[in-house]
Amino acid sequence: MPLLGRLTEFVHGVRREALPASFARIFDLAAGERAQFLPGYSRQSTVGERISLEQRVADGLTNIRFSLYQLYGSLCEWISMESLETMLDSIGSTTELPIHHIRVLSEKCLFLIGQQHPALLQRVLRILGMFFTHQARPLGERAASSSSNSAKPSGNPLEDDVVYHKQWLFYTKDVLTFIRTQVLEGVVWQSQPFLLTSTVELAAVILESGSNSIMSSRFLLSVVSVKGGEGEGEGVSLSFAPSAETATVLHEAQLMAYGRLVYYLLFLGSSTLAPREKETIAYMAAEAYISYYPKLERGLELARIPSDKVEELRTEMIFANGLNMKRRKVKEKFLAWASS
């Protein structure tokens, strides 16, 4: 293990400008290499044709470092916590990674460390959130970027954009599955209640990135449905009786999850969501609001909805007959606020 630590220091100490020019030839792209991360080679990106030699050298160094990270993931059961913390800190300082590197790094390193060492889940969640914050640009921004590049003769921005979105879509599913199994459906957060807040924050960042709005919305609402907090409803039952402190943290995490979802629907996603997506999220938010009423009223305050509008919604619910009518009224209000 000391050798692995020395190797890590050496690899991270190598700089692109210190390498000889001949080193760059190693990284000349072979035919079809750009499609190696696309399932079935069904769609090939032409982005590799526009990569400079200097960038290929930088990518080569990145590949070496990522091979080292994968080694950490494979051996994480026997590596000390201190060494893993140092390695995770080095990943946390990394930015502007290609999506295929992020996916491999998560699957072969971060997920394995999180599964083997629950005490390091907080650091793993922070790194995953950083990837979405820095890399997964909202759909509208990405589309605008593609349009501005469409006049360039080299490459096919439309194809590259499709590949980009599909990669993030698949990665989003992997991350949400990981945090659901390791945090939400497990009992690890009984001893680490703050993981609930970190999990909600990560899911909210994924939602706001626009990479998978529907799936991340469902995840946030699955947090809302967990039983055990104040004002519990017909949600997922816990396999343990939470302490008063844990129940309070759970309740606050549920309010945060609902507030971030509604805030995205009304403000951040109002101009980027497709009409069907907007209506689906509005329906899910209305369904949760009715199911757990009045538990989620403060979640509307966290979504920065004025108190007079919350009072107006409460009044309309009182005069609405039946759950279906109440649900429809809440959904219509959300959609009206989103378009105003």
Give 3-59 pLDDT, tens digit per residue.
666 666 656 555 666 666 555 544 454 545 544 544 554 444 454 555 666 666 677
Structure tokens given for 335: 């959609």
Query: Per the confidence metrics, is the pTM higher than 0.85?
Result: no
What residue type is 246 in one-letter code? T
Ranges of each domain in the chain: 1-38+55-137+156-186, 187-226+242-339
The Cα–Cα gap between 238 and 224 comes to: 13
Provide Rg for the chain, Cα atoms.
23
Q: Is the pLDDT higher at 279 or at 136?
A: 279
Spatial distance between the Cα atoms of 117 and 92, rounded to a whole number of angstroms: 17
Confidence of residue 139 (pLDDT cuts 50, 70, 90): very low
Residues 6 or more apart whose Cβ sits within 8 Å of residue 212: 168, 169, 172, 173, 176, 206
Q: How far is CA 210 from CA 18, 85, 204, in A?
A: 39, 30, 10
**75-86 per-position pLDDT tens digit:** 898 888 888 998
Q: How confident is the model at residue 259 (pLDDT cuts 50, 70, 90)?
A: very high
Tens of pLDDT, residues 150-169? 444 444 555 567 778 888 99
